Amino acid sequence: MPYPKRFDGRKSDETRPIVAKVGIIPRADGSAMFQIGKTTAYAAVYGPRTLHPKWMQNPNTGVLRCEYNMLPFSGHGERVRPGGGRRAREIGMVTENALLPVLDLREYPNSVVDVYIDLPQTDAGTRCAGITAAAMALADAGFEMKDMVAAVAVGKVQDHVLADLTYDEEQNKTPEEGVADIPVAFMPLSGKLTLLQMDGEVTREDLKKALTLGKEVCKRIVDIQKAALRAKYAGGSDDE
């Protein structure tokens, strides 16, 4: 259908409402929740801990292992069968690649840092919400990080380059024009990108516009991540 204005009335560069919280899973070494619209991601970090099997160990550095998991009741339609599958495996891998550029695990050779991302409700943008939550959880666990990482899906729906597509927007293809869904992650200090995927169709010019928009939006999300981290740890100075 024609798309003069976004379904939920947002401006093109506007995300859905965001809630971020750090320290939601006390058993974990670090944890966070990131909610954007009706997509919610929990991230829990365990480690560094011993990596089995031994052949996976790296004597030079700790290994980051990310698992992405949609909970069975989190799908838009029918129940999602537990157990992941190829899609989840791939997202776990691109999540690792999105986070590794800021993370330094050389202090922990042969060990593993596990990040578990679980989504109780989803409405598009799940891998981005997962990466954003995971970055907060890793900071909460106290790892050395050169910068934060935030992710968002940008895209093209008809004439518009938009930030943070919803499921309905992703589905809003016309016979003449496809919809481009472009999840991206950025490190705000360097302005460099650590995640890029694309489904759909887009021109070279629009891709550049979309990436520029993604970079701006990620900077705003990083401010929210940092505020959530400070909210857990702030409160004044100590007495010794």
Partner 1 sequence: MESLHMKDRDVVVPGDIVATGMGFLPSKGTYRESDKVIADRVGLLSVEGKVLKVVPLTGGYAPKIGDRVIGQVNDVLFSGWRVDLFGPYSAVLGVKDATNEFIGRGANLAEIFGLGDIVVCKLINVTSQKLIDVSLRGPGLRQLKGGRLIKVNAAKVPRIIGKDGTMVSMIKQATGINIVVGMNGMVWIDGTPEGEVVAAETIQKIQDEAHLGGLTNRIKDFLEQKTGKKVEPRAMQEGE
Partner 2 sequence: MMSEQKQHVLKYLAKNIRFDGRKPLDYRDVTVEYGISKSAEGSARVRIGGTEVIAGVKISIEKPYPDTPDKGNLMVNAELRPMASPKFESGPPSDQGIELARVVDRGIRESECIDVHDLVIKEGELVWSVSIDIVAVNDEGNLFDAAGLAALAALLDARMPGKNEFNKADYDKRTDEKLPLKTRPVPITVFKIGATFLVDPLSDEEENFDARLTVACKDDGSLAALQKGGEGSLTIDEIDHMVGIALERSAWLREKLGR
In the sheet that holds 39-50, the strands lie side by side as: 18-22, 30-36, 39-50, 111-121, 63-70
With CB under 5 to 8 Å by kind, the binding choice for 34 among partner 1, partner 2, none is none
Burial class (CB in 10 A: 0-12, 13-18, 19+), 153: buried
Q: Is 67 in the site for partner 1 (CB under 8 A)?
A: no
Dist CA 229 CA 226 (whole Å): 5
Residues whose CB falls within 8 Å of the CB of residue 63, separated by 6 or more in sequence, listed in order: 51, 56, 57, 105, 111, 112, 113
Number of residues that bind partner 2 (CB under 8 A): 33
Q: How far is the CB of 38 from partner 2 (least distance, A)?
A: 5
Question: Whose CA is closest to 133, among 163, 209, 141?
Answer: 141
Query: Binders of partner 1 among 22-51, rule CB under 8 A?
Result: 29-30, 47-51
**What residue spans of the chain are helical by DSSP H?**
86-99, 126-140, 167-170, 204-233
Q: Is 172 in the site for partner 2 (CB under 8 A)?
A: no
Dist CA 174 CA 194 (whole Å): 31
For residue 105, give Cα distances in angstroms to 17, 27, 65, 132, 149. Answer: 33, 21, 12, 19, 16
Q: How far is the CB of 10 from partner 2 (least distance, A)?
A: 18
Query: Binders of partner 1 among 142-201, rule CB under 8 A?
Result: 142-148, 187-189
Query: Binders of partner 2 among 22-81, rule CB under 8 A?
Result: 24-28, 31, 38, 40, 42-44, 46, 49, 67, 69, 71-79
With CB under 5 to 8 Å by kind, the binding choice for 155 among partner 2, partner 1, none is none
Cβ proximity to partner 2, 92 vs 188, nearer residue: 92
Q: How far is the CB of 53 from partner 1 (least distance, A)?
A: 15
Bridge partner list, 115: 45, 66
Cβ proximity to partner 2, 42 vs 186, nearer residue: 42
Site residues, partner 1 (CB under 8 A): 29-30, 47-51, 59, 62, 102, 104, 107-112, 139-148, 187-189, 222, 226, 229-230, 233-240
Site residues, partner 2 (CB under 8 A): 24-28, 31, 38, 40, 42-44, 46, 49, 67, 69, 71-79, 82-83, 114, 116, 118, 120-123
